[in-house]
């Protein structure tokens, strides 16, 4: 089944000492089977857009629809369930639980959904093995390299087989060789039923996407041209 995200007339502003408008009347369709890169200077709205798509934040106005189902931003419990089942999130700072091992970081999100320890154990070990980290199962995040931590973060994000993968600067703290490995893994996750959306400052990786989005002044500009 083909999956999609529709965003319609999305606005996001923050009220502090003055009104700060971050996203300005954005309308776009994200389609499954494609990888989307989002580029733009700091403060252009990249992370804000990803936070809205992940249902962590809510728009000031406008709507988001996932597979013909309009998101009700007043229903936090329902949105938490949608996020757990349908959305895998990869953060720049990895956000691994420091007091839990690599295995536990990957295992727990699946256990919360399946309530089946045996099945969750098998699946977590299988994914970690596929990422070449079987020897690091019982290591804590502080005992792993930056590249290893990020691979565990990706394993955690995909263990529930999400339809949507969102990544905010997933290689921001890595050297180029480790970053290439992470993006190779990320693009290998693309399939006909999955949407991959990532924000990056790195033009090399941005140009690998099927669709390139430039964020400028809270607006989206779609380009088929190479980003320099």
Asked whether the beta carbons of 23 and 53 are under 8 A apart, the reply is no
pLDDT band at 107 (very low <50, low <70, confident <90, very high): very high
Residue 12 maps to a domain: no
Residue 206 maps to a domain: yes
Angle between helical axes of 146-158 and 176-188 (0-180°, round to 10): 10
Q: How many CB atoms lie within 10 A of CB 226?
A: 9
Residue 20 maps to a domain: no
Host domain of residue 132: 33-59+73-223
pLDDT tens, position by position, 3-51: 699 999 999 999 888 888 999 999 999 999 999 999 999 889 999 999 9
Q: Output the CA–CA distances (angstroms, integers) from residue 203 to 106, 170, 196, 226, in the order listed.
A: 30, 14, 17, 9
**Overall number of domains in the chain:** 1
pTM over 0.95: no
pLDDT tens, position by position, 171-182: 887 889 888 988
Q: For residue 223, what pLDDT is reported?
A: 85
Asked whether the beta carbons of 28 and 221 are under 8 A apart, the reply is no
pLDDT tens, position by position, 71-98: 999 999 999 999 999 999 998 766 899 9
Q: For residue 224, what pLDDT is reported?
A: 78
Tell me the C-alpha distance between 136 and 143, whole Å.
9
Residue 8 maps to a domain: no
Q: Can you tell me the mean pLDDT for 147-163?
A: 93
Q: How many CB atoms lie within 10 A of CB 31?
A: 14
Q: What are the structure tokens assigned to 17, written together?
A: 């000492």
Is residue 1 scored above 60 in pLDDT?
A: no
Residue 159 maps to a domain: yes
- CATH number at 46 reads 3.40.50.300
Residue 65 maps to a domain: no
Residue 21 maps to a domain: no
Q: For residue 82, what pLDDT is reported?
A: 94
Q: What is the mean pLDDT of the chain?
A: 92
Residue 117 maps to a domain: yes
């Amino acid at each position: 089944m083909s999956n999609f995200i529709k965003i319609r007339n999305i606005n996001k502003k923050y009220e502090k000492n003055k009104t700060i408008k971050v996203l300005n009347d954005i309308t776009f369709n994200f389609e499954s089977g494609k990888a989307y890169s989002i580029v733009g200077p700091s403060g252009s709205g990249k992370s804000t857009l990803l936070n809205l798509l992940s249902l962590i934040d809510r728009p000031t106005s406008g709507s988001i629809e996932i597979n013909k189902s309009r998101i009700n931003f007043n229903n936090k419990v329902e949105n938490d369930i949608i996020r757990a089942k349908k959305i895998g999130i990869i953060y720049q700072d990895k956000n691994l639980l420091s007091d839990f091992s690599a295995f536990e970081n990957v295992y727990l999100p699946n256990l919360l959904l399946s309530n089946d320890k045996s099945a969750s154990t098998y699946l977590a070990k299988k994914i970690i093995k596929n990422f070449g980290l079987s020897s690091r199962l019982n290591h804590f995040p502080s005992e792993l390299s930056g590249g290893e931590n990020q691979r565990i973060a990706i394993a955690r994000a995909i263990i529930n087989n999400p339809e949507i993968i969102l990544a905010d600067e997933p290689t921001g703290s890595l050297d180029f060789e480790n970053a290439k490995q992470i993006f190779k893994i990320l693009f290998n996750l693309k399939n006909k039923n999955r949407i991959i959306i990532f924000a990056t400052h790195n033009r090399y990786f941005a140009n690998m996407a099927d669709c390139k989005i430039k964020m400028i002044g809270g607006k989206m500009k779609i380009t088929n041209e190479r980003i320099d």
